[in-house]
C-alpha cells in the first residue's frame, strides 16, 4: 500500500447512501473500500460475508481476540468466524470504531427507549431488507454481531459499556482493503433516539478502488 492519496475520480464505485438506508455490494480481494462520514457522528452498522461461502462471516469475538483490543482502527484485521482475515483497516481519520454495541432493532428500541418506539425504522430491518433484495438465501439468523463504524462505545474500567458522544466529524473516513472477496452489508443507521448521532441520521459516501 503506497502513501499516495487515492484519486476520487479513479474509484470504480462512488455512491451516496442516504440517511437511514441500507446498502449491499461486493468488494473483491485487493480492492479498497472507503466509508466517509459526510456530516459527522453517523453510525454505520456493517457486516461482512465471504462472497463465495456466506456461512463464513465477520466475527467480533475473533477480531477482538486476535488483536487483544476491543476498539477497531488502523491496523485492525477484521477476522471471520473461521479466523481468516477478511479485510484490514488501512487508514482511519476517525480513530475509533465499535464492535460491541450491536445494531438497533425494534426490540432494542423498545427496551432502551419506550414501547411506542417499537415501530420505528431500525438497523436490523435495514439488514433484512437489503438481504431480501439481494439474491441470496440469507435471513435473520445470518446476522451476527456487527461493526458500528464511527460509533464511540467506550468500556469503563469496571467493564461497563457507554454509548458516548461520537468522536467522528464531517468528512472523516475509514478505509479497508479486502483480503478475500467479501459481501458488504451496511445499515446507515436510522436511529432517532440515541444522542450518539445527535438524533439526526445523515448520509454517507462509499468509494471502492480497484486492486493494485
Binding site for Zn ion (CB under 5 A): 104, 123, 189, 191
Q: Which is nearer to Zn ion, 108 or 175 (CB)?
A: 108
Residues 6+ apart with CB under 8 A from 136: 54, 183
Residue among 77, 72, 60, 104 nearest 168 (CA): 72
Rounded distance between C-alpha atoms, residue 45 and residue 2, angstroms:
28
Q: Cite the DSSP H helix spans in the chain.
A: 60-67, 106-112, 123-133
CB of 4 to Zn ion, least distance (A): 35
CB of 108 to Zn ion, least distance (A): 9
- Phi and psi at residue 127, in whole multiples of 5°? -60, -45
Residue among 23, 42, 43, 41 nearest 33 (CA): 23
Q: Which is nearer to Zn ion, 78 or 123 (CB)?
A: 123
Q: Which is nearer to Zn ion, 174 or 189 (CB)?
A: 189
CB of 29 to Zn ion, least distance (A): 29
Q: Which is nearer to Zn ion, 37 or 56 (CB)?
A: 37
CB of 145 to Zn ion, least distance (A): 13
Amino acid at each position: 500500500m503506497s502513501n499516495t492519496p487515492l484519486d476520487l475520480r479513479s474509484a470504480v464505485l462512488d455512491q451516496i447512501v442516504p440517511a437511514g438506508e441500507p446498502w449491499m455490494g461486493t468488494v473483491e480481494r485487493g480492492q479498497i473500500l472507503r466509508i466517509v462520514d459526510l456530516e459527522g457522528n453517523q453510525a454505520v452498522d456493517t457486516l461482512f460475508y465471504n462472497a463465495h461461502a456466506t456461512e463464513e462471516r465477520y466475527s467480533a469475538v475473533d477480531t477482538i481476540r486476535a488483536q487483544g483490543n476491543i476498539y477497531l482502527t488502523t491496523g485492525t484485521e477484521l477476522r471471520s468466524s473461521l479466523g481468516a482475515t477478511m479485510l484490514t483497516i488501512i487508514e482511519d481519520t476517525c480513530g475509533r470504531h465499535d464492535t460491541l454495541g450491536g445494531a438497533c432493532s425494534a426490540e432494542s428500541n423498545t427496551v432502551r427507549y419506550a414501547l411506542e418506539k417499537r415501530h420505528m425504522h431500525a438497523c436490523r430491518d435495514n439488514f433484512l431488507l437489503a438481504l431480501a433484495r439481494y439474491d441470496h438465501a440469507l435471513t435473520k439468523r445470518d446476522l451476527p454481531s456487527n461493526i458500528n463504524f464511527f460509533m464511540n462505545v467506550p468500556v469503563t474500567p469496571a467493564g461497563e459499556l457507554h454509548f458516548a458522544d461520537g468522536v467522528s466529524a464531517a468528512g472523516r473516513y475509514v478505509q479497508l482493503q479486502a483480503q478475500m472477496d467479501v459481501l458488504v452489508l451496511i445499515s446507515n443507521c436510522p436511529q432517532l433516539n440515541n444522542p450518539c448521532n445527535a438524533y439526526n441520521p445523515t448520509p454517507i459516501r462509499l468509494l471502492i478502488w480497484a486492486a493494485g
